[in-house]
Amino acid sequence: MKVLSEKLFGGKQGAIGLAILSLLLFVVFPLWLDLFRLGLIGKYVTYAFVAISLVLLWGNGGILSLGQGMFFGLGGYCMAMFLKLEASDPISTKIQTTPGIPDFMDWNQLTALPWFWEPFKSLTLTILLVLIVPTLLAFIIGFAMFKRRVGGVYFAIITQAIALILSILIVGQQGYTGGVNGITDLKTMLGWDIRTDSAKYILYFANAGLLIACMLLARYILTSKFGMLLLAMRDKEERVRFSGYDVSNFKIFIFCIAAMISAIGGAMFTLQIGFMSPSFVGIVPSIEMVIFAAVGGRMSLIGAVYGTLLVNFGKTMFSETYPELWLFLMGGLFIAVVMFFPDGLAGVYEKYATKFNLTGKLSKLMIKFNKSASVTDELVGEKP
């Protein structure tokens, strides 16, 4: 049991960090923020899926991908296709030339639903395809690149180019994908209206729960023997190869896992925000997601989540307060982090946690809280 706890939580310090993050996501934010601001936090949390995938891939594996946005977008598009088909029933689309198909298909004079849209009539198949489609694309890219020992800056540039190609393809195929506008006007999931206030709260908590689950999965991977091999490949790839391991297979595997985690974030983004467009697939969002991980700390799962929240909160605050200067302010924030905090927020925490023994103090505080809670339970239990 202790070994499993170490693998899932990363020891006492990791468990405390995860508990504090969970407290913020599940208690503090819902009680403190109004529904609009909580919706923004929910959107930021969907980006955090990509940030933790980059901790696995870049921070621990040494593989910098500048195209994670395409996996985020593919997951989002898969979910959007299901929701759009549900919103395009024959009754709702009876004024169209061809009822029963999405409105953008009718505008582009399509007379039948394309074959690759058919599986998205089922929610079960849609969930499977959210996981399978991005993972399959990652496998194809990884197999083509890593088997030929393409890595470093060359791999980063190639993933960036593929993300650009995919976004151009989506925009160009307007009749099949909705084009530059994306897939919009998403209303229900199996008859459940996702636009209501109660639905937004439920989706927020589901989103946060999935993020915690993905973090536990990532922590389990990193604390396993495979995680040790990832670090070894990052630092001494040739030595690992000469030890008899097939490095390319390990790289393909972690690239596929990172793609799958990113796709889950994309699917939750579609459910929470209610649309998906090619602007989340291209180069700019992919680079922004790398910045999220860098600000939080590319070696820390929890730090990557905080980095995502901080950058996006700063982006929202600066754009609202200083609409003409916010890009310069965001640029200054990124430069300051790189210059003064090269290990991100996680590096700052580790430095001062060690100096002031913050972990020990937090542990004592949690023990006192648990003792007081148990005493209260006993007193309540003694009442007639």
Distance of CA 327 to the CA centre of its chain: 23
- Is the model's pLDDT at 372 over the cut of 50? no
pLDDT at 369: 43
Per-residue pLDDT band at 249 (split at 50, 70, 90): very high
Please give the backbone phi and psi of residue 179, each rounded to the nearest 5 degrees, phi first: 65, -145
| Average pLDDT for the chain | 86
Tokens representing 349 are: 């925490």
Per-residue pLDDT band at 320 (split at 50, 70, 90): confident
pLDDT at 84: 94
Task: Measure the CA–CA gap between 230 and 352, rounded to whole angstroms.
Answer: 28
Rg of the chain (C-alpha set):
23
- Is the model's pLDDT at 91 over the cut of 70? yes
Sign of the Cα torsion 60, 61, 67, 71 reads negative
* Helix-helix angle 152-172:68-87, to 10 degrees: 20
Among 211-225, 264-278, 346-360, the minimum mean pLDDT is found in 346-360
pLDDT at 4: 56
Among 182-191, 214-223, 347-356, the minimum mean pLDDT is found in 347-356
pLDDT at 331: 74
CA angle 133, 121, 276 (to 5 degrees): 60
